Amino acid sequence: MPRATATTRSTWCVSVSRKALGLSLAAIAIGAVVFSQEEGSYRKVYPQEFPAGAGHDLAQRSCLICHSATLVTQQAKDSTAWEKTLGTMEKWGVKLAPAEHETLRVYLLAHFGPRAAK
């Protein structure tokens, strides 16, 4: 019978550690799936469409060229942050007249502004 050496022991420990880690991650994943299916889940589902309102069509035309609605609807930006975002998008090619820019900023702020503290 071969003698155990430090190398074989450390290899065995690494193997056991990896298996334990894998089982732990699998248990966490299963728990997350089960929890997300329970009533009262904390998982937030963001809208996949823009809500109706003044600026809806403008958001559809300007934002959905590059982004999914979900990417936009999960944001919670204040007026300054939306202004910066719109400025960046305009630099990258979105065409907005000044009045459209303001309408879109107000729409985004009204629907996807800062969230209320819980």
pLDDT at position 36: 46
pLDDT given at position 108? 95
Q: What is the mean pLDDT of residues 56-80?
A: 92
pLDDT at 47: 76
Report the 10 Å Cβ neighbour count for 98. Answer: 7
Residue type, 82: W
- 3 state SS of 4: coil
Is the pLDDT at 37 greater than 70? The verdict is no
Whole-angstrom distance, CA of residue 15 vs CA of residue 81: 48
Q: Output the pLDDT for position 78.
A: 95
Integer angstrom CA distances of residue 35 from 6, 12, 28, 43, 118: 42, 34, 10, 9, 21
CATH number of 56-112: 1.10.760.10
Note whether 105 and 63 are within 8 A (CB). Answer: no
User: DSSP code of 41?
Assistant: -
Pair 54, 103: CB distance under 8 Å: yes
Give the DSSP H or E segment for 12. helix 6-37
Q: What is the domain partition of the chain in residue ranges?
A: 1-43, 56-112
Tens digits of residue pLDDT in 42-56? 556 777 888 999 999
